[in-house]
Structure 1
């Protein structure tokens, strides 16, 4: 299976490829593609008179064209003329390492799940990292986006440090940097020079040890960073707190496969979306988030994944919150303001009946505030029907109820209170 331009089909019993695939599947799509390079278009429709009309276009338009090419194709234009060289060196480029892989190497990647000789693959990450180093060095910058997902940076501390020096100096805007580790336990520390990349607006990191933040100067910050993705990082809770504190305009935070118990507390005026997936979550506290619209948990377990060790979700001030889920009764404890929402007790039988919900007492948000209810993965079990009946009988302002059945076409029900 190709993800992010590289093949992740190989699976020899180690879960690392599976986790890597999960992380890569959540990355933003690179802003350029090699599916329809400019040379193919010109080859399909060559000018009848042989004149080079593209070179006669205004410089502003040519710069726009070059900035939309993969870095490899953009750099090739420098051999055309001095004018093209100046244009290429003056535009922000997009560097995607998957675009730098030769066709032969790509074929090796695709054969990995067919018992290909691992020696054929062993030197590819090293060669790819060397190619990325050259590409970063030769272009004067700025870089609009750098998308590195195919290199194993183990024992390449010097290259990693050099990359971040170049990225910081050349005004990197968007950075996706995944360390292609072979097995857990081989993680490499990110250099602290990451915090020199102050021009960043989007940052995705995967399979790294996050740099120590205790000794960072107060001036170290990401003043323009709006989107952050943290994938299977080794990171201390205090480092996460400092990172969020140094991102004053952050709008989206995504955390996948966190390798530490997540205890997240934030107070921000900019954050709009928080996603925590495939992680152990002990507590998430929203102190004050005036713009927060989505708080998504997916495969977020209590401590150690055990049901009796629950996660606490506390919502303080979040007036624009429109999506909260997915919460599991018995695993997640929800508090909104001063109201603690508790699931009914099963009385030791393991079953939740209608009487259990009735004994939970009146819930004001259900009675007076819920206008739309969406239930996904509905299986029609008795406990689910009991919950549905409890809501339908007590929701005084409910206007629409949508039930999405498991593996069945969605069923919509419009509920009109009597």
Structure 2
């Protein structure tokens, strides 16, 4: 029986209250409280912060458990709680002072430009609390306070997840000599960090699997040499802050050796040059984009060995890339010619996500690609088209795949309206009844999918 906790005991999914000493039929035993302390402690740790301390009122059996269970302090739930808003720092301090540890997760989120905890000494005191000893997950935002207390890194031997934001790590002495022997996820957001420091930080994580770097600057080149990393997410690594007159922005990404890398995501910095030297397991790639502003080309340049893709144009196709199965593309307008060239470059594509903004292309293909249709091996199983409006250039584009993708399973149109009239009109124009794949399903969604 599924249950949710409430102040007086448990509330079953059927809505009836169940006291801790009785089962749902009015008799029996509180089987949950009969579990070992270690199991109950794990249950408490999984609860939101605002709920885990409440377990003390469920039954006498639970009263001592919260203080000794691994602490999961999630700051977002406290900020959003109406009774705790404006009292955040005091609430966190009381929780830490009353908890005996050990620590599991400690999250102090972005205050959106305002301090939610006061002075930097407050954060330093929290991080030094015995309640956080042996911490496994740390997520801290310094509200652009450029003083990173040394206590931030006192958990380096036990951390599995580290996310740090709003601070200055540019001094090499800050991260030099650090070692994170069990860290698997590293997130860096809105941080100033030098090239030597970021390379030193990554090198200090020998079992790192996921790396996320967003809105961070201070380095122009990022080299990845990791035998463990599986996912890399890079986005917006520059700055638009007026006080930074000449910021150093990321311009070059080099994947020198990443034998386990499977996902390279959101590599869309203006003018980024990305080189994939060795990533034999890379399956997900995105976002390829074309971006021109004031006559200057800021599109991503992607190099696989001797194969070069500038923006979305395959400038040199010396070898095909067979490992990539999931590709995301952002183009000024949906352009079938470009997508066909990309499919030649990535012949084993199974999922293609597309976003186009303008209406510059007609995408007439029946005569132009008549000879190609018979020999092009379209392996796509899923196609997602964002910002779909149902205009003829988009209809022509989508119809190419409706009528020629023989193993297609899903085609998803993200639209502004899912009215019955619009869907009926599109179903007819897109020729769903003549689809090449008889198992293909077509969905129009604004968040809630409508299948036709």
TM-score normalized by the length of structure 1? 0.66
Contact between 2:37 and 2:65, CA under 8 Å: does it hold in 1?
A: yes
Partner of 2:18: 45
By how many angstroms is 1:364 displaced?
Answer: 3.0
Residues 99, 361 of structure 1: alpha-carbon distance in 2 compared, 3 angstrom cutoff: closer
**Secondary structure of the corresponding residue to residue 214 of structure 1:** helix
Contact between 1:190 and 1:211, CA under 8 Å: does it hold in 2?
A: no
Q: Distance in 2 between matches of 1:58 and 1:286?
A: 48
Partner of 1:188: 146
Q: Distance in 2 between matches of 1:72 and 1:227?
A: 26
Q: Distance in 2 between matches of 1:38 and 1:61?
A: 21
Deviations 1:62-109 (A, max 9, x none): 333333334454445557888645433332121122444595456xx7
Alignment partner for residue 312 of structure 1, among 245, 257, 273?
273
**Secondary structure of the corresponding residue to residue 347 of structure 2:** coil
Contact between 1:168 and 1:196, CA under 8 Å: does it hold in 2?
A: no
Partner of 1:162: 125
By how many angstroms is 1:165 displaced?
Answer: 2.0
Deviations 1:373-394 (A, max 9, x none): 72512567439779xx78x949
Partner of 2:319: 364
Q: Distance in 2 between matches of 1:81 and 1:343?
A: 62
Partner of 1:405: 385
CA-atom RMSD in angstroms? 3.9
Residue 101 of structure 2 is aligned to residue 97 of structure 1? no
Residue 109 of structure 2 is aligned to residue 149 of structure 1? yes
Alignment partner for residue 206 of structure 2, among 248, 272, 277?
248
Residues 153, 214 of structure 1: alpha-carbon distance in 2 compared, 3 angstrom cutoff: farther
Alignment partner for residue 326 of structure 1, among 273, 287, 294?
287
Partner of 2:265: 296
Deviations 1:263-304 (A, max 9, x none): 211100111111112334301100000010111125x332xx
Unaligned runs of 5+ in 1: 1-34, 110-123, 303-309, 346-356
Q: Distance in 2 between matches of 1:58 and 1:285?
A: 50
By how many angstroms is 1:250 displaced?
Answer: 0.8
Q: Distance in 2 between matches of 1:84 and 1:327?
A: 53
**Secondary structure of the corresponding residue to residue 327 of structure 1:** strand
Residues 361, 192 of structure 1: alpha-carbon distance in 2 compared, 3 angstrom cutoff: closer
